[in-house]
Amino acid sequence: MATGPLDGVVVLDIATLFAGPLAATILGDYGADVIKVEHPAKGDPSRSHGPAKDGVGLWWKMLSRNKRAVTCDFGRPEGAALLRRLVERADVLIENFRPGTLERWGLSPAELHAINPGLVIARVTGFGQEGPYSRRPGFGTLAESMSGFAAITGEPGGPPTLPPFGLADGISALVCANAITMALYHRDHGSGQGQVVDLAIIEPLLTILGPQPLAFDQLGEVPSRTGNRSINNAPRNTYKTRDGKWVAVSTSSQNIAERVMRLVGHPEVIDEPWFKGGKSRAEHGDELDAHVGGWIAARDVAEVVSAFEKAEAAVAPIYDIRDVFADPQYQALDSITTVEDPDFGPIRMQNVLFRLSQTPGSIRWTGPALGTHNDEVYGERLGMSAGELSELRDQGVI
């Protein structure tokens, strides 16, 4: 049974790969009835993306959890007609085709709103629906490159660095889910009308880069790569322990910076005039790193973490996924939870994003096989007979 604040909300996920589908996953985790619509022959490319076991994609198991999988070639008139029937009783449609594609199939927002005026249509593209780049292929890597993120990531003098995972897609998914809930709230507590969410993947990452646009506009500043250091405070870096582990230290607040320097045996720097501000401390990063790095290098990671904890200073061991699984805090939060899967039995994956005291979300099932819910969705929601569905299968429509 669905649980969560979005119980009763029907979402049609016709997007592929990551930003749009992950937004739908988030909505599904919190109770929405998400119907994943895939091409009957090709399926969503994420089924074969990334690691697999016994020929079954593992990313798909997480990305399409809590979704009912149906097939429909809505690029064909018969399929477009079927999708329109699903739209009649839906609350949300999420798509990520290039601008103009849905219009070409007779599925434009205007045509869909004529069928269902309350429908919220989320359009997730690389560059948005307007502008000179709008029809270009758009992927998260391009957003990570063009937002300014890659330009400031990496070692000084080294190449720009891209993340080894879908950072821009993931952030865009969070933003998209938020935008959809805002649009639903406005519909249900305001106009009664649905609307279009136009989300360009190049924009959310730009937003979380902080004051860079303002600093350029007002000061002409163009930030450079600083490795693991920060231009806003110090000490802030990664440091290697005696037993070959790594830890990260943060001193975003003045009192934490002072505690760190007392802990590592250099309280004298606290009285220096330059130590009184984060940016001026950053200008003395070499000196501060030498003090902190030297102290950490003489100790094992457990001793370092314990000492920082007692001093109420901020440190964290740098984890790989093995450490995440073993960490008692993650275990206490059930951040990695166990879900029963028809292919693999009990499997472990990320839990829902946050805990709600009144309407908690849940993982009810993992990503299903292609077309698993065709009979269920088309039969129950649209009242189609077994004969009608068989005919559509024979035609390759579903």
* Catalytic positions, written as ranges: 169
Four-CA torsion 27, 367, 14, 98, nearest 10 degrees: 100
Cβ(91)–Cβ(119) under 8 Å?
yes
Four-CA torsion 187, 188, 190, 194, nearest 10 degrees: 10
CB atoms under 10 Å from CB of 116, counted, come to: 18
Q: 6 exposed, middle or buried (CB, 10 Å; 0-12, 13-18, 19+)?
A: buried
- Residues with Cβ within 8 Å of 283's Cβ and at least 6 positions away in sequence, in order, are 234, 274
Q: DSSP alpha helices (H): ranges in 209-364?
A: 212-219, 254-263, 278-282, 285-297, 301-310, 321-326, 328-333
Distances in whole angstroms, Cα of residue 322 to Cα of each of 167, 319, 325, 326: 21, 8, 5, 6
Site of tokens 């190049």: 202
Terminus-to-terminus CA distance in the chain, angstroms? 26
Site of tokens 């097939």: 71
| Crossing angle (nearest 10°) for helices 254-263 and 301-310 | 130
Q: How many CA atoms lie within 13 A of 165 on its CB side?
A: 5
Tokens of 235: 């000490």
Tokens of 4: 């969560």
**Burial readout 64-97 (b: 16 or more C-beta within 10 A, e: otherwise):** bbbbbbbbbbbeeeebbebbbebbeebbbbbbbb
| Crossing angle (nearest 10°) for helices 374-382 and 386-394 | 130
Beta strands at 246-249 and 237-240: parallel, antiparallel or unpaired: antiparallel
Q: How many CA atoms lie within 13 A of 116 on its CB side?
A: 23
